[in-house]
A and B are shown apart, each in its own frame.
Chain A
């Protein structure tokens, strides 16, 4: 179903945020300690810190659905009995506003991992309570390469899609959930008479023309096919590519599509709190078994991360790549090694 477009003067966005946060939790990209993060907004928040001009938050929107740590259960010893409490699921309905197209795509990638069989009920809970309001990218960065994965930053898929064109915010519901939220906001949102207002058409054209000029926009995916798995796996170039990698895991923690977690027990003295936390295939203790980590060297661990994104995941998920081209690993690796260099080198080009 095609939904209609609504508009709101940009200067009234504060009211919009106020209205949303009166009935649901609201998360916005905010500046915190010089970095940009999705942060909870309530009536006390100074909206000065909201940053919709800055393209990407340091961590991705995945954190709202798959937090870095999440409690699973608690065990407590009482005499000879062990009492077990499963973690309460207290997520209230929430809205994530300002999610970029790449982060929105990453949720699709996570959905396939967590909502298949078996279903991850903790993720499912957050996903069902969260409404994703995307925002088109007026000024993409040189590190962006979403278009390589057929993501359209000018029309970012979400429960609601929004655009800021000059002094106007355009708003278009994209799902039932989005339509529901729109209804709650009808005191503010003004339905547009045209199917697609002129200002919006122009903005989209403008964005697509910038995307066309992005330096990383023409990376080739041709080489990354399931049939090429063995050949890519055996490529001697991994050795050289992994040389600067110090196995810190930064790339995996800032990545919106990285989905691995570990389950740990925290000894409280009287019992145990069981929680899950993000894990990284770049770590030496990842998937440790009785004999240790099955990948004994950094080159194997490094290869795993990229093979998973470019070959294994698409092979298992109808060709959907599990990189969204957000460029976070490009800007955050301490030693400047990243997805783009891997794609250029294995895709046949040198990474200069």
Chain B
């Protein structure tokens, strides 16, 4: 475990200098002060552009899976939320753990720049932190804001940062009638532009060719003309990820339309927890997932009607 930003960079340097890994997957600093991109660093000399701060929300596991053909070992930095994705990718043979030097890093929550903007903060020049406050110097004056108010959705229920229950919002949704839920999703998904950011950044979505990209699948919708297609894309995706989604929060973080995709994933996780026992990726055996194994003790499909009371 490494604690502060400086020590993370130091660790990165040691790894590259000592040759423990050929390359390191981390984040490269941007002049905006927040728009840091994931990047591969091949030598300690390249590290002057390395950064680890409040704006490194992206999960590096997916990019790591793309590097699996690369020669030699790759070091990767994993925040608490990213570790589960990493485990999943190892379990599904998308990452060869022998080829990876894994570094677990600490995180005190990542800032969602959209939330800052929604507070009316514009023209950001520089963001510094002191105590639990962010000081934002903008083209329109100095602004302040408590960092906990602008954390990414995924951080709000991350055990490393907060004690909130990830399933609260799902519980509230379950209280609503099915018609209300239908209306909610119809509205929420109506803004989906099918840009595929959610799918492409999802560590679970590692199919070589997604059915939504395959012109021969009969389901390749490049755009959603109506609510049926919106649902089709999102429900197929959420079910394909069922028992594998680790709630890393990438889909929600990247959606340019701010659609609360986490509600869908967490609903499935909650149901799996309740019906099949808590999701665990520690189990190295592939066939053991909630939807990839069968036993006579499993919940009967009828459970849906029993639980919702709908006919």
Task: List the interface of chain A (C-beta within 8 A of B).
Answer: 32-35, 37, 53, 55, 58-59, 68-69, 139-143, 210, 213-215, 240, 243-244, 246-250, 253-254, 262, 264, 266-267, 275, 277-280, 283-285, 288, 330-332, 334-338, 341, 350-352
Contacts and interface: CB of A to CB of B under 8 A. Distances in A.
Contact of B257 (A35, A243, A285): A35
Interface of B: 28-32, 35-40, 49, 58, 62-63, 113, 118, 120, 122-125, 138-140, 187-188, 191, 193-197, 199-201, 209, 213-215, 218, 220, 222-225, 250, 253-254, 256-259
Given A69-B225, A275-B225, A243 B39 contact: yes
Nearest to A262: B222
B44 to A, nearest CB: 17
10 pairs of A and B residues whose beta carbons are closest in the complex: A334-B254, A277-B223, A336-B37, A248-B200, A248-B197, A250-B195, A246-B200, A332-B256, A250-B197, A253-B195
A267 B218 CA distance: 9
25 contacts: A33-B187, A35-B258, A58-B256, A68-B193, A139-B123, A139-B140, A140-B123, A140-B139, A141-B122, A141-B123, A141-B124, A143-B32, A213-B139, A246-B63, A247-B200, A250-B197, A267-B218, A279-B222, A284-B209, A334-B254, A335-B37, A335-B38, A351-B30, A352-B29, A352-B30
Nearest to B113: A331
A34 B118 CA distance: 8
Contacts of B124: 141-142
Given A33-B257, A246-B197, A332-B197, 18 more contacts: A33-B191, A34-B258, A55-B122, A58-B191, A68-B194, A69-B225, A139-B139, A246-B200, A253-B195, A254-B256, A277-B225, A280-B195, A285-B214, A285-B220, A334-B254, A336-B37, A338-B35, A352-B28
B260 to A, nearest CB: 8
A87 to B, nearest CB: 12
A123 B111 CA distance: 40
Contacts of A210: 123, 139
A59 B125 contact: no
Contacts of A341: 30, 37
Contacts of A337: 37
Nearest to A63: B193
Contacts of A37: 191
Q: Which applies to chain B's interface (DSSP): helix, strand, loop or mixed?
A: loop
Contacts of A53: 120
A139 B117 CA distance: 13
A278 B63 contact: no
B193 A142 contact: no
A288 B215 contact: yes
A352 B31 contact: yes
Nearest to B201: A334
A139 B257 CA distance: 22
Most buried by A among B35, B39, B118: B35
Contacts of A244: 37-39, 63
Nearest to B251: A334
B32 A215 contact: yes
Q: Which of A139, A244, A279 has its CB near the most chain B CB atoms (within 10 A)?
A: A244
A37 B192 CA distance: 12
Nearest to B118: A34
A53 B214 CA distance: 42
A335 B139 contact: no
Contact of B197 (A34, A68, A264, A334): A334
A244 B201 CA distance: 10
A243 B40 contact: yes
Nearest to B140: A139
A337 B30 CA distance: 10
Given A34-B258, A244-B37, A334-B254, A278 B222 contact: yes
Contact of A284 (B213, B250, B259): B213
Contacts of A240: 39
A336 B258 contact: no
Contacts of B253: 334
Contacts of B39: 240, 243-244
